Amino acid sequence: MKILAINGSHSGKRGYTHFLIKKIFEGATKAGADCEEITLAKLTINMCKACGVCNTEKHLLKCIYEEKDDVAMIFYKMREADIIVYATPIYVFNMSGLMKIFIDRINSTGNSSDLRLSESGLFFHHISKDIYSKPFVTLICHDNFENEMSKNVVSYFKTFSKLLEAPQVGTIIRRSGKITGQGKSKEKEEQYPKISESYKAIEHAGNELVIKGKISKKTQKIASQDIIPVPFFSILKKFKGFKKKALSKLKM
Ligand SMILES: Cc1cc2nc3c(=O)[nH]c(=O)nc-3n(C[C@H](O)[C@H](O)[C@H](O)COP(=O)(O)O)c2cc1C
């Protein structure tokens, strides 16, 4: 099995996103998978110009940047992969700009004049199923404690799954990155013991992807859990009064 992770962090291999991808890969490699990470920040990814050339008869499905940047190479690797991991940090309540710029480029691989009914029952158009209609995982990280931060991205990938006919086989959201040292501090791991539990679950998620083809709900829950060492934090954080009290202790 081939797992391809697309890292949308602008920090590339210095970032927390890369650290979390490595955890998935550790578990997947142990189960025999062949894993590769694409670091978008290291590559040349031009922004779709919305020129429409890819939808003209003469240049159908051919992007003007096809031989000028690295997107064709990524599409080639996506074709070869069995599972794709879209990994992005949250930048101002959304996926990274780089990830969105990359995803926008899939527009050139679909014929928008060829209207079709997608498997989800929604109208869409022709798509190149061999590139992105693959089982995929969304891996999200951010600094804040609130679930609200990742809601747009979670919702985005639900739509992605429906219209691009790509089965979503797992979502992992790692909140509170900053207070836990974003995988760079052993001391922080001791201070927040649940973060180690979460990292183990992320590694296990990689294993499950290979063995079962998906990440179990239980593993997703442990991997994405709140790591603040306050009993019932995930319930209590819904209350403003509790938050006011907690604020002084939860410095990022
Ligand atoms: C431009 C920018 C915007 C950010 N916006 C948010 C945000 O809205 N919510 C949040 O919790 N963290 C936000 N962060 C923090 C990152 O999501 C967090 O540090 C993440 O772990 C970075 O991953 P990386 O190290 O792989 O780049 C932002 C960071 C940057 C650089």
Interval between CA 142 and ligand 1 midpoint (Å): 5
By residue range, what is the domain housing residue 30? 2-247
Domain count, the chain: 1
Tell me whether residue 86 is in a domain. yes
Tell me whether residue 129 is in a domain. yes
| Residue 179 contacts residue 2 (beta carbons within 8 Å) | no
Protein residue with least CA distance to atom 1, ligand 1: 91
Mutate to test the pocket of ligand 1, among 16, 142, 252 (most ligand atoms within 8 A of CB): 142
Would you call 179 helix, strand, or coil by DSSP? coil
Tell me whether residue 35 is in a domain. yes
Tell me whether residue 227 is in a domain. yes
Short-list 188, 168, 167, CA closest to 178 = 188
pTM (2 d.p.):
0.97
What contacts 46, CB < 8 A, 6 or more positions away?
65, 68, 69, 71, 105
Which amino acids bring their CB within 6 angstroms of ligand 1?
9, 11, 15-17, 89-93, 141-144, 149, 177, 182
Tell me whether residue 216 is in a domain. yes
User: Domain containing 119 — which CATH number?
Assistant: 3.40.50.360
Q: Residue 220's pLDDT is what?
A: 98
Tell me whether residue 151 is in a domain. yes
Burial call 85-121: b when 16+ CB within 10 Å, e when fewer: bbbbbbbeebbbebbebbbebbebbbbeeeeeeeeee
Q: Residue 177's pLDDT is what?
A: 95
| Residue 82 contacts residue 136 (beta carbons within 8 Å) | no
Atom of ligand 1 nearest to the CA of 94: 8
Short-list 217, 147, 228, 218, CA closest to 194 = 228
* Predicted confidence pLDDT, tens digits, the chain (252 residues): 999 999 999 999 999 999 999 999 999 999 999 999 999 999 999 999 999 999 999 999 999 999 999 999 999 999 999 999 999 999 999 999 999 999 999 999 999 999 999 999 999 999 999 999 999 999 999 999 999 999 999 999 999 999 999 999 999 999 999 999 999 999 999 999 999 999 999 999 999 999 999 999 999 999 999 998 888 888 998 999 988 888 877 767
Interval between CA 57 and ligand 1 midpoint (Å): 42
| Residue 162 contacts residue 120 (beta carbons within 8 Å) | yes
Tell me whether residue 97 is in a domain. yes
Protein residue with least CA distance to atom 7, ligand 1: 92
Tell me whether residue 252 is in a domain. no
